């Protein structure tokens, strides 16, 4: 592979092929990302280039209102959902990008169907919205911790696929990214949270409870990838043990998705000769 893989190389290395998704195995996916970016230096250069390009593309999207982009970031605790979003959009105007983080549902959210809180903040035309956690928590944490009856969880895979299809058919592209880290790397990052004073605020004892359920979460993720990687909204598994490679790969995917929208600045609707500014 060249030092900077093409957008296509990154897409094909990370996608969960909808045609073969049923037999998808998460264990076979690497967590390091060295096949795509040999060195961290290459990854950083690629991220820089893509972040600049993402800003340009977002500007055209905002001007044209030709559609919307929803980026769904999922991943186990410490996989870097915040970091990946921050880096990909580091040069993008905050006016055109919204980020929504979904934690434990509130009482009001629980009184509605589980998609309610997501649908109402899905992007409007011209905007990019990032979901940091998403509807998938309702088949991940909810399944692993038995927060809803198994029969209800079972119905949700098809409901989520239908929901995403409806968004796509109405002009929103849906890019789904799972940040894939190893258990060893998660251990390192949790230790770092305890040891580095500036990171202590991120430590949540509940994360250790979830770590004990590592295998259950991996199985629940695998089921999501098998059942919800669809032609209209396929999943991508991004190796996330290295922060720089993770951010470079995520940014390549976001850039590729925006480029696929074939965005153009709109016709201004007037003739330049009409106006003279003195």
Q: Which residues bind ligand ADP (CB under 6 A)?
A: 77, 102-105, 133, 137-138, 141-142, 147, 204
- Which lies closer to ligand ADP via its Cβ, residue 125 or residue 243? 243
Q: Give me the least distance between CB of 256 and ligand ADP, in Å please.
A: 25
Report the 10 Å Cβ neighbour count for 262.
9
Q: Which residues pair with 99 in a beta bridge?
A: 130
- Which lies closer to ligand ADP via its Cβ, residue 118 or residue 128? 118
Q: Could you give the 3-state DSSP secondary structure of residue 11?
A: helix
Q: Give me the least distance between CB of 189 and ligand ADP, in Å please.
A: 12
Q: Give me the least distance between CB of 214 and ligand ADP, in Å please.
A: 14
What is residue 124's DSSP assignment? P
Closest-approach residue to ligand ADP (CB): 137
- Which lies closer to ligand ADP via its Cβ, residue 137 or residue 247? 137
Do residues 120 and 100 lie in contact, with contact meaning Cβ atoms separated by under 8 Å? no
Tokens of 257: 């998705």
- Which lies closer to ligand ADP via its Cβ, residue 37 or residue 114? 114
Q: Give me the least distance between CB of 141 and ligand ADP, in Å please.
A: 4
DSSP symbols for 86-142: HHHTTTS-TTSEEEEE--S--HHHHTS-TTHHHHTTSPPTT-EEEEES-GGGGGTHH
What values do phi and psi take at 85, rounded to 5? -70, -45
- Which lies closer to ligand ADP via its Cβ, residue 12 or residue 204? 204
Q: Give me the least distance between CB of 75 and ligand ADP, in Å please.
A: 9
């Amino acid at each position: 592979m060249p030092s900077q893989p093409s957008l296509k190389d990154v897409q094909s290395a990370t996608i969960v092929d909808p045609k073969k998704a049923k037999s998808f195995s998460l264990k076979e996916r690497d967590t390091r990302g060295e096949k795509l970016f040999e060195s961290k230096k290459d990854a950083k250069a690629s991220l820089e280039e893509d972040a600049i390009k993402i800003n340009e593309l977002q500007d055209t999207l905002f001007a044209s209102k030709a559609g919307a982009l929803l980026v769904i970031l999922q991943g186990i605790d410490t996989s870097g959902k915040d970091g990946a979003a921050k880096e990909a959009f580091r040069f993008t105007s905050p006016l055109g990008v919204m980020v929504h983080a979904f934690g434990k549902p509130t009482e009001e959210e629980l009184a509605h169907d589980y998609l309610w809180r997501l649908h109402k903040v899905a992007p409007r035309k011209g905007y990019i919205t990032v979901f940091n956690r998403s509807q998938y928590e309702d088949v991940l944490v909810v399944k692993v911790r038995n927060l809803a009856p198994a029969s209800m969880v079972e119905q949700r895979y098809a409901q989520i696929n239908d929901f995403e299809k409806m968004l796509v058919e109405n002009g929103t592209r849906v890019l789904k990214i799972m940040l894939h880290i190893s258990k060893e790397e998660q251990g390192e990052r949790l230790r770092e949270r305890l040891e580095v004073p500036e990171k202590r605020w991120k430590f949540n004892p509940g994360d250790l409870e979830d770590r004990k359920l590592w295998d259950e979460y991996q199985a629940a993720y695998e089921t999501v990838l098998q059942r919800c990687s669809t032609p209209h909204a396929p999943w991508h598994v991004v190796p996330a043990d290295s922060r720089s490679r993770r951010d470079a790969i995520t940014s390549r995917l976001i850039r590729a998705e925006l480029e696929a929208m074939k965005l153009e600045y709109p016709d201004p609707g007037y003739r330049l000769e009409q106006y003279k500014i003195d």
